[in-house]
Amino acid sequence: MELTRENVAALIGAVVAVLLQIMVAPAIALFSAIPNFIVAFCVVRAVAAPYQAGSLIPLALGLVFDLVGGGPVGGMAFVLVLVTFFASRLFAALNNDTLFMPVTIILVSTMLVEVLYGLVVVACGAGVSFGEALLYRVLPCMLYDCVIGLLLYPIAIRVLVEKPLGQPGTPVLR
């Protein structure tokens, strides 16, 4: 990995996301919903910098999440790598210089991560049905993560990418 401005910003962002997940997320839990800063960061980065995103940071952050959180190790890593890859490719293909497309992809990807991770947890023997997991964990966390992702996107556009993706002369989000 080259030491470019984007990569350094991504590394700092990743560390901040992990610290927020460990130190802040438990304190701002709403009922059973705990926000997932790691998911939000990875998805937002995949959309903000689709060609630079890669699979390394989602893999590393997913593993850290699994190791610190007590979930099945590799579960979140697998889901994050998969979803961020498709999110970045989808955005690269469908970007039409409007705000609609990145926001939609962030929301859909975040939801997908939570649903897939719920499936992994249930499959690994959580002792609950997927319907119950969907109702009590996936949906609340999904909504919380979407809010975090939407708040994070404008910051990511400014910090994570030197020049936002778009046609020459296209107004950018400021």
Contact letters for other proteins, residues 30-59 (x by CB under 8 A): --xxx-x--------------x--xxx-xx
109 makes contact with other proteins (CB under 8 A): no
- 95 — phi, psi (to 5°)? -60, 125
3-state secondary structure of 52: coil
Is 62 near other proteins (CB under 8 A)? yes
Angle at 65 between CA 61 and CA 69, to 5 degrees: 170
Local structure of 31: helix, strand or coil: coil
Tell the smallest beta-carbon distance from residue 110 to other proteins (Å).
Answer: 14
Q: Are 106 and 47 in contact (CB under 8 A)?
A: yes
Question: Which residues sit at the interface with other proteins, rule CB under 8 A?
Answer: 19, 21-29, 32-34, 36, 51, 54-56, 58-59, 62-75, 77-78, 81-82, 85, 89, 92-97, 120-121, 124-128, 132-133, 135-137, 140-141
